[in-house]
Structure 1
């Protein structure tokens, strides 16, 4: 995807951006794009990483973003498991969209197993419509043009069918490095090995070899109408 100057990635939780589209992020950065990542929901502590302080976890997030070359990482810190699709959180994302004015947007695909991923999918689709409308003037920004491309990535539930594949053979090591920055999360599962294996499988399926990330195409040059779950459903 050449000729893209600004990219926005919306992630439900820390590390979802790395798992879902970290290779594509690194590729955009290589091609000169500015990438902004919005992490909607804050950290959920577990018995495996409770000794890791919030400052240490924030440093992991910053290290992962740095590894990918992310221009800016915004954490909304919404509460885990109490997350709600309120007007306030919609307007928070609309403000960011109107500021960044991205040509490409990434968000979780519409049928991910995690309920918060599906909620963030719906939040982002709705906020994209809101950001393009003449309403919601309290955000202070001008309506934004429609992104050229809106893509849904996979994390918890690999897509049975996809519409777009991105070759990340040259970025797979960068993606794995970014995942390893989340040392606390690797205590839960070997995500670094998992993302390498999934990318290898997606490369074999899409082109016969190499590594790839695959996506649901939600829109091309226009955003789905407000209230819909998104276009291009599997």
Structure 2
């Protein structure tokens, strides 16, 4: 047992310059989680590549939108946000079945063993294989992924897949700072990025995901989280921040 309090996180004003990869479980998570930080990258001219793992088909539980073309609509929302706010059209969709858990992982990987733990293991290794090819291709300076403590099963699966890849193939990440972001469950941060300057733009981008904000005003939810995180940014004003597991090896610190 340690009798020392946790170290304060690094306060970062600008992330390191260079190409960026972000892994999003669903179409919208790239903005809900690290969106303010990604906008900082975009404003600095850093090229951004986005990988969206699940097809988002479960995002309309009450049938408020036409079923036909629904997943296409969610992809279109993501592409439009990426182009408008992140200056990129480098968006890749794996189109895995939404809600990837042991109950429906057979939709993605057939002929799995019946044991739920074995299915989850297969899910993580399968996602790692898919992500490996993309990571190897893009070789980015900075990478963002959902941290592995997320309560949402699809977020957890993507986070575990990335951590599995980082553990088993560290050479892929020798030149990449990889940070885990939060959406559905909060983390104990190693890094806080001051996104006060991009916060309103992030909220504007979130409101563009009409299929999702029809159900929940995510701009208020995410805004509250970012305001809470901003309490650790020194200064008399109200600040906003995004929290990450992992640290940058560069960037401008506060």
TM-score, normalised by the number of residues in structure 1: 0.80
Tell me if the contact between 1:97 and 1:128 (Cα under 8 Å) persists in the aligned partners: no
Tell me if the contact between 1:8 and 1:104 (Cα under 8 Å) persists in the aligned partners: yes
Tell me if the contact between 1:41 and 1:76 (Cα under 8 Å) persists in the aligned partners: yes
Aligned to 1:95: 133
Aligned to 2:180: 152
Q: Number of residues paired by the alignment?
A: 210
Asked if 1:66 is matched to 2:95, the reply is no
Aligned to 1:51: 66
Specify which of 211, 215, 234 is matched with residue 240 of structure 2: 211
Tell me if the contact between 2:192 and 2:241 (Cα under 8 Å) persists in the aligned partners: yes
Tell me if the contact between 2:148 and 2:158 (Cα under 8 Å) persists in the aligned partners: no
Asked if 1:9 is matched to 2:22, the reply is yes
Q: Distance in 2 between matches of 1:149 and 1:55?
A: 32
Distance 1:115 1:70, change over 3 A: farther
Unaligned runs of 5+ in 2: 1-13, 106-121
Distance apart, 1:206 and its partner CA: 3.5
Specify which of 23, 31, 34 is matched with residue 18 of structure 1: 31
The structure number with the bigger radius of gyration is 2
Distance 1:3 1:191, change over 3 A: closer
Asked if 1:180 is matched to 2:207, the reply is yes
Q: Distance in 2 between matches of 1:9 and 1:149?
A: 12
TM-score, normalised by the number of residues in structure 2: 0.74
Distance apart, 1:219 and its partner CA: 8.2
Distance apart, 1:48 and its partner CA: 4.4
* Residue aligned with 1:24, SS: helix
